[in-house]
């Protein structure tokens, strides 16, 4: 039987980072997205530990019990990956397995891009790796394709989204983000509406989310607010400038990509075609598996927790001996 989840603070890259961990053996680093926490991996932590791995799930910079530095520039990919390299050094592990979801998938991809020597294999959930487009910045591209009402464009102005969110309490916000559905199927609204106003939440919680879960998320975001997480979006164009040296670079670690067939990411911005018509394989030449989960939505590691854990274990099990 694996030990219980334990918590500690690691000093890394100039910040204090909170991590939750369980088990012993090869390290699996679990990187969460927006608006989530280490807690999003609560099911995987347990199942990975039971299978003989050391599961490590940080609250990323700007979230939970990790520091929330001021300034958009403090949330660049270079700083986020720097946090994780410092974490791995503090743990005393040179090479680890990595799993990312949502923004965590983007950070995980850039960890592999910058430091492939530190990663044995990668599982990305929801968001596939896309290389830097040298012709147009990401926010400019989204504005031209989806308009000013697209949520990432709406998130760009500091303080604006926070004002919109303030109309709701934290419990309502978390239910809307984690469980809400969009009538139009695209996270884009007219500029005279708030982003959260259009999200419809179910009358009752689904089987995979408890009131206790919602309250944990709500309590932690009440402590930090949302600015840290929103800064990941606000630094996109600065990241685009900083990442110029990696234009055309590929992910060169063994990779598995998993997505739900109902995930908005999968059904927006040409992601489905990119994934299945060779674009992802071209940029991730060691892509070994693509898994589309039937009736899976965005927060899939919580919604389909056991299925996702099994997919992670099946893939990493191929490499386990080389990690010991």
Q: What are the residue numbers of the active site? A: 102, 233, 298
Q: Contact 30/42 with Cβ under 8 angstroms?
A: no
Q: In this structure, what DSSP letter does residue 19 have?
A: E
Structure tokens given for 243: 């990442």
β-pair type (255-260, 287-293): parallel
* HEC assignment per residue over 29-62: EEECCCCCCHHHHHHHHHHHHHCCCEEEEECCCC
User: What SS3 class is residue 78?
Assistant: helix
Q: Contact 62/75 with Cβ under 8 angstroms?
A: yes
Give the C-alpha separation, 211 to 92, whole Å.
37
β-pair type (15-22, 6-12): antiparallel
Q: Is the dihedral of CA 21, 106, 261, 198 positive or negative?
A: positive
Structure tokens given for 294: 């039937």
The DSSP secondary structure of 243-286, one letter per residue, reads TGGGTT----S-EEEEEETT-TTTTSTTHHHHHHTTHHHHHSTT
């Amino acid at each position: 039987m694996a030990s219980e989840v334990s918590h500690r603070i690691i000093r890394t890259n100039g910040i204090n980072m909170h991590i939750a961990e369980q088990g012993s053996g090869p390290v699996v680093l679990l990187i969460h997205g927006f608006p989530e926490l280490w807690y999003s991996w609560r099911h995987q932590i347990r199942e990975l530990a039971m299978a003989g791995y050391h599961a490590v799930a940080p609250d990323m910079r700007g979230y939970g019990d990790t520091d929330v530095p001021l300034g958009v520039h403090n949330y660049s990919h270079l700083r986020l990956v720097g946090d994780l390299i410092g974490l791995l050094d503090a743990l005393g592990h040179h090479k680890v397995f990595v799993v990312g979801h949502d923004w965590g998938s983007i950070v995980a991809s850039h960890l592999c891009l910058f430091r492939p020597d530190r990663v044995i294999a990668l599982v990305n959930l929801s968001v596939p790796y896309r290389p830097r487009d040298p012709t147009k910045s990401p926010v400019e591209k989204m504005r031209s394709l989806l308009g000013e009402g697209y949520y990432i464009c709406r998130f760009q102005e500091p303080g604006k989204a926070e004002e919109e969110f303030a109309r709701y309490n934290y419990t309502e916000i978390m239910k809307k983000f984690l469980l809400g559905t969009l009538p139009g199927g695209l996270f884009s609204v007219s500029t005279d509406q708030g982003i959260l106003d259009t999200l419809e939440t179910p009358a009752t919680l689904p089987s995979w989310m408890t009131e206790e879960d919602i309250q944990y998320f709500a309590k932690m975001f009440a402590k930090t607010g949302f600015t840290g997480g929103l800064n990941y979006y606000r630094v996109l164009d600065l990241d685009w400038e900083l990442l110029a040296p990696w234009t055309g670079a590929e992910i060169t670690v063994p990779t598995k990509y998993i997505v739900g067939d109902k995930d908005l990411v999968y059904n927006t911005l040409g992601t489905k075609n990119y994934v299945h018509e060779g674009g992802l394989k071209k940029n991730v030449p060691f892509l070994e598996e693509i898994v589309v989960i039937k009736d899976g939505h965005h927060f899939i590691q919580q919604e389909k927790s056991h299925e996702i854990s099994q997919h992670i274990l099946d893939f990493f099990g191929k490499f386990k001996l080389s990690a010991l």
